[in-house]
Amino acid sequence: MTKYAYSVIRFVPSPVRGEFVNLGVIVGSERTGEWAIDVVGSRSRASKLDDENVFPMVASDLQRLQSMIESYSDPDLIDPPFDLSDEWLCQLSRDSRNLLQYTTPKTVVAESAPSALEKLWKLMVVEPVPQKRSSLTRRSVISRYVSALERHDLDKSHIKRHAQLETSKTHAAIDVVVHNGAVKEITQCWSLQIKDADSVTNDIKSWGWTIRTLRDRGGLLTATGLPERLEVPGDVSVGVVYAESESQKVTDEALEVFNDKDIQARCVPVGAVEDYAEIASQLVRDQKRFDL
């Protein structure tokens, strides 16, 4: 279970009267990188208070906010051009004193951001519960794995996000590298829960081709913050952490690549990430540490 910050979105047509309508909820966690927003589909309750016909302006501002949060949660957007954080949510609340307001953030405990959103919706919003969103983004999978590594006594000196692996024939982005001056494990994180399943399947196949080449000839790893390129031996530990799809076909196609005998990857669903992180931690502890 994870703690999520949340703020209720309110339409306040007359701050003097103090009347308001809850329009939706924002929830998020810095630790997991998950952020979600949902807003009401009906404007009937808001319209009853909207004597000055100002709601269209509010709706436009709210749509921009919703687009920003949803773009941040794009599973293919690893390095967004903006940050969503607890402080951002607090600032959003402090700055909202007009028609559209956001309540002071509080915390709720839930299994995921969509679960937190569903729980809060029932309490805060007078409208039928929206269709449950069960998807995890790729960034969320990465964050959960990194958090698990940190719980197993690995710190930033051992963990590198977003590296580039070069082989003799191709290259690929690597989500998480565990190292101690020498590369001990490279892990790729995937969400199979996105709408464009064909795109993620193609990306997985491309990654698989790179790893097969790595197994044959080794490779080189580069990343911001590393003083030099690191050699990646062909027998390096390779792992996959993934969020399962509701579609068995999509999951089977991904697992066919992950479990390929030439790739030799340790493959686990995100729900089993703790045991997987313990193995990665052991790889560092069992080897002589090199200071970078």
In a domain, 174, yes or no: yes
Q: How many independent structural domains does the chain possess?
A: 2
Q: What is the mean pLDDT of the chain?
A: 84
Q: Can you tell me the distance from the alpha carbon of 84 to that of 113, in angstroms, rounded to the nearest whole number?
A: 14
pLDDT in tens, 166-176: 998 888 889 99
pLDDT mean over 24-45 = 83
What percent of the chain is modeled with pLDDT above 70? 90
Token representation of residue 44: 């009937």
pTM above 0.85, yes or no: no
Longest dimension (CA), the chain: 72
pLDDT in tens, 43-75: 777 778 777 777 887 888 888 888 788 777 654
Are both 238 and 150 inside the same structural domain? yes
pLDDT in tens, 87-111: 999 999 998 878 889 999 999 998 8
pLDDT score of 240:
95
C-alpha distances in angstroms, 106 versus 4, 130, 147?
8, 22, 22
Is residue 195 classed exposed, middle or buried when 0-12, 13-18 and 19+ CB atoms within 10 A define those classes?
exposed
Q: Domain of 194: which CATH number? A: 3.40.1350
Domain limits for position 207: 138-285
Single-letter code of the amino acid located at 154: L
Are both 177 and 120 inside the same structural domain? no
Are both 99 and 142 inside the same structural domain? no
Are both 118 and 41 inside the same structural domain? yes
What percent of the chain is modeled with pLDDT above 90? 32
Are both 39 and 92 inside the same structural domain? yes
In a domain, 132, yes or no: no
In a domain, 73, yes or no: yes
Are both 169 and 250 inside the same structural domain? yes
The last residue of a domain, from among 66, 93, 124: 124
The last residue of a domain, from among 124, 156, 171: 124
Residue 78 — pLDDT band, cuts 50, 70, 90?
low
pLDDT in tens, 267-292: 999 888 898 999 888 888 775 443 33
The last residue of a domain, from among 80, 97, 124: 124
Cβ atoms of residues 229 and 221 within 8 Å? yes
18 pLDDT exceeds 90?
A: no
Are both 162 and 184 inside the same structural domain? yes
pLDDT in tens, 186-212: 999 988 887 667 788 889 999 999 999
